[in-house]
Amino acid sequence: MPLTLAEKARYARQIILEEFGERAQSALKSRSALVVGSGGLGCPVIMYLAAAGIGKLGIIDGDIVASDNLHRQVIFKEADIGRLKVDAAKECVKALNSFVEVETYPERFSKENALALAGQYDLIVDGTDNLASKYLINDACVISSKPFIYGAVYKFEGHVSVFNGKLKDGTLGPTYRCLFPSPPTAGLPNCAEIGVLGGVPGAIGMLQAVEAIKVLADVGDPLVGRLLIFDMLSARLRLVNIKRRPEVCDIEKLGTYDNAPRCAGVREISSAELSRWMAKGADFEIVDVREPSEVAQYSIGGIHVPLNELERATEKIPDNKPVVFVCQSGVRSAYAISMLKEKAQNGDYYNLKGGLNEYRAFIEKG
């Protein structure tokens, strides 16, 4: 879609980028994205996509602005408290860039509207904070053949990836279910339950916006088949490769998507207690659910079963002794325990609180 003189002037700093140019800017103008959720992740996504010059932006969220949103949902003001988030977000976008077409939906992204909405946009960006919505977005994108720009935050850690996108050879990359095949009955806590530092979802949302721009404008190397993990407390970045699993990618219809009870029955063990178990030679096992590249960087031993292989390798998990599940921050290991409990494997399971990040810091402090 040709750019006007006003648009060329407005986006001049992007257009002069050799890797971007007028071609990519024109492509972005002709494309659209649906942002599901206008919270901590959705706010920076909305503003950076609008500022970059996307043609059409859809925003779906049935929530209203509350005072405890303002420390991280930075497009809202005190005067917006009590307003529909989508109304305040649209107002902010139009004030920033009147060239952008904005469509708002003051409702939840649900099984009833997911496919109809997915069909109207070129991709979907995940701004949600619950597992049910992430699985619904994934499945709607798979059925509709649309890329899914994934983002998630847990305390000081954030994840970003591009699911259901195209690899360099033109084949389809992995989906969200290739990483997490099925949701556990017991979900994971959201920011309302465990807290969040305002800048963390801001940084992750910004990265999601960049990935969306790369996909829409066909520039660079999007995070297809790779999961970016950003631990902001220690300022460490890691990339984990994800393989496509055909047995979980064949989705023909939407399923059931319920937000289950949060982390029900997942016991935790502190780094101090685990260290004591090790020192006294207690009879227990460690199961590390991280990817091989992460284990190669730092490990405390035990059995290595990557999370995306756990469903097919349950026989490796001992049932005659306590088992401590570990990952980098404690998120994936909690998910692993929930998954096993859902399959009626009621072993003596513990989740390492804070993951290996916290354990390593504890050991190094002596």
Rounded Cα–Cα distance for residues 213 and 32 (Å): 10
Rounded Cα–Cα distance for residues 292 and 290 (Å): 7
pLDDT at 265: 63
Closest CA relative to residue 155, chosen from 228, 233, 209: 233
Average pLDDT on 72-82 reads: 92
More confident position, 258 or 147: 147
Q: Write the pLDDT tens digit of every residue in 59-73.
A: 999 888 888 889 899
* Domain edges within the chain: 31-249, 268-365
> Pairing relation of β-strands 32-36 and 101-105?
unpaired
Instruction: Exactly one of 43, 178, 191, 263 is catalytic; name it.
Output: 191
Q: Is a pLDDT exceeding 50 seen at residue 170?
A: yes
Copy the structure tokens of residue 132: 């049910």
Q: Is a pLDDT exceeding 50 seen at residue 262?
A: no
> Any bridge partners for residue 297, and if so which?
none
pLDDT at 307: 87
More confident position, 328 or 79: 79
Residue type, 85: K
Sheet strands side by side (includes 268-269): 268-269, 349-352, 323-326, 285-288, 303-304
The mean pLDDT of the chain is 90
Q: Is a pLDDT exceeding 90 seen at residue 182?
A: no
CATH 3.40.228.10 given to domain 31-249: no
Separation in Å, CA 104 to CA 35, 87, 305: 10, 7, 43
Rounded Cα–Cα distance for residues 100 and 50 (Å): 6
Q: Write the pLDDT tens digit of every residue in 192-210.
A: 556 678 899 999 999 999 9
Copy the structure tokens of residue 116: 């109809």
Q: Write the pLDDT tens digit of every residue in 93-138.
A: 999 999 999 999 999 899 999 999 999 999 999 999 888 899 999 9
Residues 324, 287: contact at Cβ < 8 Å?
A: yes
H-run or E-run covering 202:
helix 199-217
Least confident of 78-87, 140-149, 235-244, 328-337: 328-337
> Any bridge partners for residue 125, and if so which?
35, 149
Q: Is a pLDDT exceeding 60 seen at residue 236?
A: yes
327 in catalytic set: yes
Q: Is a pLDDT exceeding 70 seen at residue 311?
A: yes
Q: Write the pLDDT tens digit of every residue in 5-58.
A: 999 999 999 999 999 999 999 999 999 999 999 999 999 999 999 999 999 999
Separation in Å, CA 93 to CA 13, 76, 138, 238, 253: 20, 11, 26, 32, 34
Superfamily of domain 268-365: Rhodanese-like domain (3.40.250.10)
Rounded Cα–Cα distance for residues 242 and 175 (Å): 9
191 in catalytic set: yes
> Any bridge partners for residue 325, and if so which?
287, 351
pLDDT band at 185 (very low <50, low <70, confident <90, very high): low
Strand, coil or helix: 134: helix
